[in-house]
Amino acid sequence: MRIRGTLLGLAALAGMMAQAALAQQPQTRSPTLEAVRARGEVVCGMQGDNPPFSYPDAQGVWRGMDADSCRALAAAIFGDPARSRVRPVTGLTRFPAVQSGEVDVLFGSTTWITTRETRLGLVFAVPNYFSGQGFLLRAAQGVKSLKEIDGATICVPPGSTTEVILQDWFRNNGGSFTPVVIDDPNQIQAAFLSGRCDVYTRDVTGLSGFRFRQTRPADFVVLPEVITMEPLGAFIRKGDDAWLDIVRWTQLALITAEQLGVTAAEVDRLAASTNPDIRKLLGAEGDIGPSMGLDRAWAANAVKAVGNYGEMWTRNVEPMGLPRGLNRTWDKGGLQYAPPLR
């Protein structure tokens, strides 16, 4: 009986060990990743004229923080940032585009809010930018504060939280406004420049980018009030956790690279580093990439393609004169933080 009991105990232990081993196997099947590989490129939805997030330059090459995030994703998957394609979306078309599979991931400087996850069947991957809702006016209007714009006409996009937030602010602070609702971002900007609306509102970074691109930026002023905290970043369809892993951790790898001092130019040299965190990031040790169904060099390829997060900022945002503020890494007093790559 003792032998039998021992054998039964060993069998149970073997079963538990087998289950534990199975639990440790990477769950890498992703319908989205399979579709991306079959297509040969990753398709990213984002706004068409939206510096410093996404805009085509004079040669038609997409630039900006969101465009770089898309290239980094393609580099992580294929080892080639060129295997990315931008599909322009608007406030009304962006969510149907990702829900239908027309795009694999939505950037579009889109804010993380509750109902976009609970009602739209989407999930937010990770912030690639922290901003807030601001207000742009003509300097000639002489307005110094948001409290002075009672009765103004304000350009806002449909299908967004911008108008709702604005209504809440006026309800809490008194006064009123007349919304001028326009879907296309270019038409919103044209309406503001033509005088059809007194105020243009959206995330303050986008407003600063728009102001920067005007022939006479000093003719416009961004008010000091920022009335929301807006984590912007990537949305994907719910139900594909393996794809979520890839989108999320590719962005986090760019932040990790900045924290570790790994730049695009230094990736190859630092692959021989003795620093264990750098070695894990660049695939010199560990199996982080394979755990997601990617090559060990997934993060190294992403950093080589677009640089670390700080390099992305320097290239896309710094020329517009915007302070980095909350988008500093956590050790510099900001909110950008990456959990350990292990």
Residues 145-201 have pLDDT tens digits of: 998 999 999 998 876 677 888 888 988 988 889 989 888 878 888 999 999 999 999
In whole angstroms, what is the distance from residue 320 CA to residue 52 CA? 8
Helix/strand/coil percentages in the chain, nearest 5: 45, 20, 35
Q: In 176-240, which ranges are continuous DSSP H helix? A: 185-194, 204-212
Domain 133-228: give its CATH architecture: 3-Layer(aba) Sandwich (3.40)
- Asked whether the beta carbons of 157 and 198 are under 8 A apart, the reply is no
Residues 237-279 have pLDDT tens digits of: 999 999 999 999 999 999 999 999 999 999 999 989 999 999 9
Q: Where are the domains of the chain?
A: 31-131+231-316, 133-228
**AA letter at 301:** N
Find the angle CA(288)-CA(309)-CA(259) to the nearest 5 degrees.
Answer: 70
For 203, the 3-state DSSP assignment is strand
The CATH class, in words, for 31-131+231-316 is alpha beta
pTM (2 d.p.): 0.83
Place of tokens 């940032």: 81
Q: Which structure tokens are listed for 20?
A: 């534990």
In whole angstroms, what is the distance from residue 284 CA to residue 296 CA? 8
- Asked whether the beta carbons of 50 and 189 are under 8 A apart, the reply is no
In whole angstroms, what is the distance from residue 193 CA to residue 210 CA? 11
As a whole number of Å, the end-to-end CA separation of the chain is 46
126 secondary structure, DSSP code: E
User: pLDDT at position 320, please?
Assistant: 84
Residue of 306, 316, 313, 247 whose CA lies nearest to 107: 247
Are 31-131+231-316 and 133-228 equal in CATH topology?
Answer: yes
What is Dmax (Cα atoms) for the chain? Answer: 96
Residues 221-242 have pLDDT tens digits of: 999 888 888 899 999 999 999 9
